[in-house]
Structure 1
Amino acid sequence: MGKVYSLKIIDLKEETKNSVLITFKIPNELYSVFKYDPGQYITLQFNLKGQQIRRSYSLCSSPLISEYLQICIKRVKDGLVSNHINDTLKKGDYVEVLPPEGYFLAKVNKDNYKTYYLFAAGSGITPIISILKTVLHTEERSYVYMIYGNTNQETIMFREELKLLEEKYKNRFVLIQTLSRPKSSWSDLWKVSDKTYRKGRVDAVCINWFINTYPPYAQNAEYYVCGPGKMIDNTVKTLEGMDVPFNRIFIESFGGAIMNNEIETTTEANLIVNLKGEKNEIIIPKGKTVLRALLDENYSPPYSCEGGVCATCKCKVIKGKVAMLKNLALTEQEVENGYVLSCQSYPLTSNIEIIYN
C-alpha cells in the first residue's frame, strides 16, 4: 500500500445541502508528493467501526491555480465514509491522505489548440471542473463545451463558480445545464436571455443536440465523461455513433453499476495469495471480500477506493472462482483473462488462488 500522509483541513463548507467542500493545506515539503494532473483523485483513510477504510475522491481544485487540495464529497445514503465526513469532520482536523492517482486526466499545455467536450452528471462534476478550470486558465486558444446534468437546481455543485467561469471566459466556454426534475423557480433563478437550459437527462437525444449545436471549433477534439454508469454508457455509445474515435473519449465512473445481488458464497474459502513475491494462505470468512479478508489478517495488498472504481486492487484469479459485486473499472477483456477487483470479489469455490502483479 502507498504511504499515508496527515493533511490539515484549513476550510470546510457546505457546497450543496448534501455535500461539503474540503480544503487541505499541503506542507511545503510535500508539494512534490501531492503534485497532480487535473482529473486525478486522492484517497482518504479512516478507522471506523474497528476497520481501516479507504475512499477515493476526485480533486476539484486546479493544480495550476490553487496551492491547496480541494475535494467535494456528496452524502451517500447509508454511506459509512461520506456520512462520517459530512457529519463529523471540521476545520482544523487532520486526515490521513494518500497521494494523487488516476488515469482520468488532461495533459494541459499552453500551446494546445483544442476543443474540449466535457460531460458530467451529479458529483461527476468534481474531476471535470478541475479539468475545466485548468484548461481555461492555461490554454488560451482552446475552447470548452460542457454539459452538466442534475436533478434540480438545488443539487448543482459549484453553481456560483461555474457562473463566474462563464462570465470570465464567455468567448470560449459554453455551459449547458440539464435538469431531470427542475423546480418551478428555475426560470426565476436563471433569468439570462441568451442561455439555453434543457429539461431531461444527459442521454442520446441531449448529446446529439449538444454536439450538433456546438461543433468543434478546433478539429483536435477530446471528450471527457464522468458520472453514473448509465450516463457514461449513453454518452460513449452516442459519441461512437457520431464517429468519435474511442481513443479520444476519456471516462471516469462514479457509481451506478449493476449490482450482482445473486452471489452465493461458500461458507468460507481457503485463499492462497501471491503478494510482493511471497505466497501466503488465509481463510476468507463467509460474507467478506478477498481484499477485506487480507486486510483483516494484516496483509498489505494494493487498494484505494473499495468501491469497484479505481482498479488499484486488481488481481488475477489463477485457481478457483470468485464473483464481483460490481465492476466499474475492468474491461470485458480483462475479466475474460481472469482479472478481478479484490475489493468486490466474493468466493464461489472453497479454494482460491490469486496473484497481485
Structure 2
Amino acid sequence: MGRDHGFHPVRITRIIQETPDTRTYVLDAPFPYRAGQFVTIKACGTLRSYSMSSAPETDTEVMTTVKRVSGGLVSNWMHDHLAPGDVVETTLPAGVFCLREGGEAGGDIGVPVVAFCGGSGITPILSLAKSALAGTRRRVRVLAADRDAAAVIFAAALGELAERYPDRFEIRHHLDDLQGFVTGESVREFVGGDTDADFYLCGPAPFMELVENALLDRGVLPEQIFVERFAQTTDPPPAPEEAPEQDGTLTLVLSGKRHTLAQRSGETFLESARRAGLAPPFSCEAGNCATCIAQVTEGEAKMRVNNALDEDEIAEGWVLTCQGEPTAPHVTVVYED
C-alpha cells in the first residue's frame, strides 16, 4: 500500500492566533504532503479533519488551522487545552483537494485558478494559492466571504501574496455585514472571462452549493469544479433493514477469516460487515480518515466520497469501506491485519 493511514504522535511547536476564534497549530511533522490536503486528529474519543494552511513549496513547517465551532467537541478542546509542546495524534496528510496535474500546461502560463471560500474555508485555499504562485506561472484569484472584517482569517498573509504577485494574484474580501450574502450574480461577475479556469470551493455547504450552481449556470463544466467537504457524523447510520438483495455475493476477509453473504442494494461494505455481525475498524464514516480502509481483491467497487485515498491507492484496489459499494456480481474485500 502506498501510504500509512495510521495515527502518529506529533508535537505542537507554536500556536498562532489568527482571529479571536481561529488558531494555527505549527506541527513538528516532517510529513510529505501536497497543498490542499488535511490531517485527521484523534481527540476526545473522536476524529476531526483539519486542512493545512501551509504549502510545501513555501513553508518549512507544517501548519493546520482550526476554527472554534460552537458545540464543536474537538475544536473547543484544542483551543482550550493545547499549548506549545503538547503532543496530538494525527494521520499522515491526505485528501484530493489539490491542484490538478497538468493545470500548469494550459498555454504559456497555465490554466487560471479561481477559488471561492467562506470563513475557515480559506485554509486549504491559502495553501493552494501559495503552491500555485510559487510553483507555477498560473494566475490565482480568490473571493473570500466572511461575516465581518474581524472574522477575516489570514488577512496579512493574503495581503502579502497580493504585494508579491501583483500581476498573478487577486484577493477580493466579501464582508456580509457590509455587502450582504454572496449571490449567484456576484459569483458570475467574479468569474468574468475566466470560464476556462480550475475552480476550488470550500466553506459552509449552502455557500458551496450556491457557488457551484452559479458556476454551472455560467457555463463552467462539472469537471472544472473541485469541492472540499468535511461532513462529520456523531453516530454511524443504521444499516438498511429491508434493502433488496442483489444477484451477487460479497466476501469480507477480516482478521484472516472469510465471511460470504449476499449483496444488498445501496449497502456499503461497512454496512454489510455489520449485517454479518462483524466489527471492522471505522471512525468518521465521512470518507475522511481512512480508518476503515480495505482492499478489493476480486470484482470492482465505487466510492460515494473519497477524501483520503490517492489515485495510486485506488488503482491498487484500496477502498474506504464506509463509502464503498460493490459494482460487480462477486466482490472480495480484504481488511488490513
Report the TM-score when normalising by structure 2.
0.70
Report SS of the residue matched to 2:156: helix
The residue aligned with 2:68 is 75
The answer on 1:65 being equivalent to 2:58 is yes
Corresponding residue of 1:56: 49
Code of the residue aligned with 1:60 in structure 2: it is S
**CA–CA distance in 1 between the matches of 2:176 and 2:38?**
28
Structure 1 position 307, deviation (Å): 7.3
1:20 match: 23
Q: Please give the secondary structure, in 2, of the residue aligned with 1:181.
A: helix
2:12 to 6, 9, 26: 9
Matched, 1:174 2:170: yes
Is the alpha carbon distance of 1:254 and 1:5 closer, same or farther for their aligned partners in structure 2, counting shifts above 3 Å?
A: closer
Structure 1: segments with no counterpart, 5+ residues: 183-198, 267-272, 281-289, 316-327, 331-338, 344-354
| CA–CA separation in structure 2 for the residues paired with 1:256 and 1:128 | 20
Aligned equivalents of 2:201, 2:130: Cα separation in 1: 16
CA distance in structure 2 between the partners assigned to 1:18 and 1:226 by the alignment: 18
Rounded Cα–Cα distance in structure 1 between residues aligned with 2:187 and 2:232: 19
Question: Secondary structure in 2 aligned to 1:157?
Answer: coil
> Is residue 2:16 matched to residue 1:40?
no
| Equivalence for 2:123 | 126
Deviation at 1:235? 1.0
Check 1:311–1:8 CA distance in 2 against 1; reply closer, same or farther (3 A cut): closer
Change (3 A) 1:82 1:256: closer
Amino acid at match of 2:18: E
CA change 1:167–1:91 in 2 (3 A) is same
For 2:245, the equivalent position in structure 1 comes to none
Rounded Cα–Cα distance in structure 2 between residues aligned with 1:341 and 1:200: 41
- Any idea what SS the aligned residue of 2:190 has? helix
Percent same amino acid among aligned pairs? 25
Structure 2: how far apart are the matches of 1:298 and 1:67?
44
Q: Secondary structure of 2:206's match? A: helix
Deviation at 1:253, TM superposition (A): 2.0
1:287-308 residue CA offsets vs partner (Å, 9 max, x unmatched): xxx89xx8xx9955244xx373
TM-fit CA distance, 1:309: 6.1
Alignment of 1:102-113 (within 5 A): 102-107=95-100, 113=110
Normalising to structure 1: TM-score of the pair? 0.67
What SS does structure 2 have at the residue aligned with 1:12?
strand
> 1:222/1:12 Cα in 2 relative to 1: closer, same or farther (>3 Å)?
same
C-alpha RMSD of the superposition:
3.9
Question: What is the one-letter code of the residue matched to 1:74?
Answer: K
**2:140 paired residue number:** 144
User: Relative to 1, partners in 2 of residues 1:278 and 1:150: Cα closer, same or farther, differing over 3 Å?
Assistant: farther
Deviates more, 1:107-116 or 1:64-73: 107-116
User: Does 1:234 pair with 2:230?
Assistant: no
Amino acid across the alignment from 2:217: G
Do 1:124 and 1:254's aligned partners in 2 also have CA atoms closer than 8 Å?
no
Alpha carbons of structure 1 residues 238 and 73: separation in structure 2 relative to 1, 3 Å = same
Aligned-residue offset at 1:341: 8.6
Asked whether the 8 Å contact 2:287–2:320 carries over to 1, the reply is no
Gaps of 5+ in 2: 242-250, 260-269, 294-303, 307-318, 324-332
The equivalent residue for 1:210 is 190
Structure-2 change in CA distance of 1:86 and 1:40 (3 Å)? same
